[in-house]
Amino acid sequence: MTTDTTPTGLDALAAVERDARAGLAAAEDEPALEAWRTTVLGRSGALTGILRGIGALEADERKAVGQAANALKQDLEAALDARRAQLKAAALAGAEPIDVTLPGRPRRIGRLHPVTQTMRHILDILQRLGFAVIEGPEVELDEYNFDQLRIPKDHPARDMWDTFWIAEQEGRQGPRQTLLRTHTSPMQIRYLETHEPPIRVAVPGRCYRYEATDATHEWMLQQVELLAIDEGISLADLKGTLHEFARQVFDADTEVMLRNSYFPFVEPGVELAVKFRGQWLEIMGAGMVHPEIIEAAGYDPTRYTGFAAGMGVERIAMPLYQVDDIRNFYQNDLRFLSQF
């Protein structure tokens, strides 16, 4: 008979098991399960305490308690998994059932902006007419945007383009005045600096003007510049190209008119207007490249001639999509944009 009154290892184990099973049954959610795991199976948990104390027991008891404790540990781990699965199943059973017969929600499909569609339409036609598409900088030098296009400082023609000026930049030859380009025409000069005739290029891009907006003017606009330089290009080539372009860009029954105009970098200058809602809407300026520009680029203007044009992409989009106020294009109103 033993006179020992402290609980034997096996008794202690039985007590741990009883508490643990009661605790597990009472755990109703994941945080409770986790707390239970820490107190029972964790490193300073009850069961771990017993396993650690085994070394101090009598040899025969050590073996029995050790085996029982390890078996209990595995049992309790399995019980934890089972309880977790049970709670999950209960949660799912309480959730609203999925109705697989409900129709799907339609997704909103993105589409191209009408000005982007117009730009692609324009460039498609121009490429088929033989123009290569190139691009240039939106932040431009004063010299390219104005001076070299024969618009010197203090010349009244500068008033045709109200300008967003940018702080002077330090260039290799001293300070240089920069601006947001007011048109794509500076690319005529840049392209001529590095390419020889025959030249046929189209230059799409954004332009900026510091001016009040109205139904036909925006402070940001997109243009496509055309430049064609070769031997023997005449005004008839310009007229033919513009008429063919207009015929392809609009419906066959759209009325267009070529009329006299003035731009400092061409001589003579013309503009193309389209009849829209009973009025003539100017869609591009054009003309024969001024001989001084050809000469400044290093070519003999009696041998090389050419034409240039600059079209407003939004102005072309207006009759194309029947939009009577240019400001609609950039207000990002989905009620407007989703119509195209």
Name the residue with tokens 């950039």.
330
CB of 312 to ligand DAH, least distance (A): 8
- 207 neighbors 181 (Cβ within 8 angstroms): yes
Of 114, 28, 148, which is closest to residue 338 (Cα–Cα)? 114
Task: Give how far the C-alpha of residue 136 lies from the chain's centroid of Cα atoms, to the nearest Å.
Answer: 20
Which residue in 83, 181, 200, 209 is the catalytic one? Answer: 209
Which residue in 223, 224, 317, 323 is the catalytic one? Answer: 223
Determine, following the binding rule CB under 6 A, whether residue 245 of this chain makes contact with ligand DAH: no
Q: Which stretch binds ligand DAH (CB under 6 A): 9-17, 41-49, 62-70, 303-311?
A: 303-311
CA atoms within 13 A on the CB side of 245: 29
**Ordered DSSP codes for 39-83:** HHHSTTSHHHHHHHHGGGS-HHHHHHHHHHHHHHHHHHHHHHHHH
**Count of residues touching ligand DAH (by CB under 6 A):** 12
Question: Is 115 assigned a catalytic role?
Answer: no
Q: Which of 13, 72, 80, 309 binds ligand DAH (CB under 6 A)?
A: 309
CA atoms within 13 A on the CB side of 85: 6
Which residue in 40, 69, 177, 183 is the catalytic one? Answer: 183
Question: Is 177 assigned a catalytic role?
Answer: no
Among positive and negative, which fits the CA dihedral 141, 144, 148, 154?
A: negative
Determine, following the binding rule CB under 6 A, whether residue 263 of this chain makes contact with ligand DAH: yes
Residues 272-301 that bind ligand DAH (CB under 6 A): 285-287
Determine, following the binding rule CB under 6 A, whether residue 185 of this chain makes contact with ligand DAH: yes
Determine, following the binding rule CB under 6 A, whether residue 314 of this chain makes contact with ligand DAH: no
Q: Which of 181, 183, 200, 315 binds ligand DAH (CB under 6 A)?
A: 183
Question: Is 165 assigned a catalytic role?
Answer: no
Question: Is 223 assigned a catalytic role?
Answer: yes
B/e letters for 309-321, b = 16+ CB within 10 Å, e = fewer, are bbbbbbbbbbbbe
Determine, following the binding rule CB under 6 A, whether residue 306 of this chain makes contact with ligand DAH: no
CB of 252 to ligand DAH, least distance (A): 26
CA–CA separation, 314 and 116 (whole Å): 9
CA atoms within 13 A on the CB side of 194: 6
Question: Is 308 assigned a catalytic role?
Answer: yes
Which residue in 20, 161, 188, 256 is the catalytic one? Answer: 161
Sequence letter at residue 217 = H
Question: Is 266 assigned a catalytic role?
Answer: yes
Q: Give the residue numbers marked as catalytic.
A: 161, 183, 209, 223, 266, 308
**Interface with ligand DAH (CB under 6 A):** 183, 185, 225, 263, 266, 269, 285-287, 308-310
